């Protein structure tokens, strides 16, 4: 990703989140957080990843119906030849991270003999 594309990406994340917090009146969208934006090479398409809990189809529909409002706010804030078409995608990363944390917390270390473990690590240092 070029420096220009990365800068635009960061601007879009900021603008979209500010728009949600400050300008959107739809209650369904108010709790949405934009987590990432992936731009096409020609900057004509922006995949906008969002997270909200709980997620449902009505939030996706509300974001889609507010697309022109978001694009207008982007146009006012960023100087671009073409304002990218926004494609909203639910970001499952936070849910996956939570599942991984739960699995890791279930691992029991009580079966590990600390002395044996220390001996193995000491042998590696030799």
Query: Do the domain assignments include residue 116?
Result: no
Residue 48, domain extent: 3-91
The per-residue pLDDT for 63 is 96
Q: What CATH number corresponds to the domain at position 42?
A: 3.30.300.20
What values do phi and psi take at 89, rounded to 5? -130, 130
Query: Do the domain assignments include residue 53?
Result: yes
The per-residue pLDDT for 14 is 97
39-43, 110-114, 116-120: lowest mean pLDDT where?
A: 110-114
Query: Do the domain assignments include residue 18?
Result: yes
For the chain, percent of residues with pLDDT exceeding 70: 85
Has this prediction a pTM greater than 0.85?
no
Give the position of tokens 């922006």.
46
Query: Do the domain assignments include residue 83?
Result: yes
DSSP 55-112: --HHHHHHHHHTHHHHHHHHHHHS--SSPPEEEEEE--HHHHHHHHHHHHHH---TTS
Number of residues assigned to the chain = 126
Query: Do the domain assignments include residue 33?
Result: yes
């Amino acid at each position: 990703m070029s420096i220009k594309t990365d800068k635009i990406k960061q601007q879009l994340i900021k603008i979209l989140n500010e728009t949600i917090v400050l300008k959107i009146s739809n209650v369904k969208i108010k709790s949405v957080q934009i987590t990432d934006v992936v731009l096409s090479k020609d900057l004509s398409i922006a995949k906008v990843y969002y997270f909200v809990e709980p997620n449902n189809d009505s939030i996706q529909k509300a974001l889609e119906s507010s697309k022109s409002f978001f694009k207008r706010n982007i146009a006012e804030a960023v100087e671009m030849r073409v304002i990218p078409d926004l494609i909203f995608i639910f970001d499952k990363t936070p849910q996956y991270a939570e599942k991984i944390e739960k699995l890791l917390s279930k691992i029991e270390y009580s079966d590990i003999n600390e002395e044996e473990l220390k001996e193995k690590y000491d042998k590696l240092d030799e």
